Amino acid sequence: MFYKVKIKDHIRVSPDKFGLELRQAIVTEVKSKFSGFISKELGVVVDVSDVDEIGEGVIIPGDGAAFYETSFELITFEPELQEVVRGKIKEVADFGVFFAIGPLDGMIHISQTMNDFVSFSKDKVLQGRDSNRSLKINDLCRARIIAVSYKEATPKIGLTMRQVGLGKDDWIDADLKDGGKGAKKDKDKEGAKGKEDKKK
């Protein structure tokens, strides 16, 4: 989800920016410091929305730069567990798909793409055996966030599309028209097939 976050910080304005109008210099430095910044508390900083207040400048001996206590607003993206997000399939692999959501990418494991037995083809398409549903690069989809980890530099996001109301846009439209029976049929077929396999 996108947020507007108000921050107060001491912003360092380097001497090469002294020729700029103060507000412009502060905005430049704030963008340089915070754009793309990632933390568990803020998520991912997308942009600087506004600079509200700029205090008196202080020059630190031995540095040469001026420091200004500044209040400003950041636009951030923070993925939240159970949040439903819209995005685009960015890459398809034999283990699942990479899913672009806002400024980040998430991963949908092949087992979480649809309620069906899914196979991967050489032309980078995931195909459901019984439902005949497919996923390819640039498909627009809706997914639910089921895992978020900040252990590495870029957050790892796990998603699922195995619920009614999730998946490719045309799947959702079809499921809504038949009251979710289409997705249930797919699941029932999968269950029946499993029973047949056990009998063999």
Residue range 50-98, pLDDT digits in tens:
899 999 989 888 888 999 999 999 999 999 999 999 999 999 999 999 9
Mean pLDDT value across the chain: 86
Higher pLDDT, 7 or 200: 7
pLDDT of residue 174: 81
* Sheet strands (E) in the chain: 2-13, 38-39, 43-59, 66-77, 84-93, 96-101, 104-109, 118-120, 126-128, 134-135, 140-149, 156-160, 167-168
Q: pTM (2 decimals)?
A: 0.73
- 2-77: CATH topology is Dna Ligase; domain 1 (3.30.1490)
Confidence of residue 189 (pLDDT cuts 50, 70, 90): very low
Percent of the chain surpassing pLDDT 90: 60
- 84-195: CATH topology is OB fold (Dihydrolipoamide Acetyltransferase, E2P) (2.40.50)
pLDDT of residue 187: 47
Confidence of residue 181 (pLDDT cuts 50, 70, 90): low
For the chain, the structural domain boundaries read: 2-77, 84-195
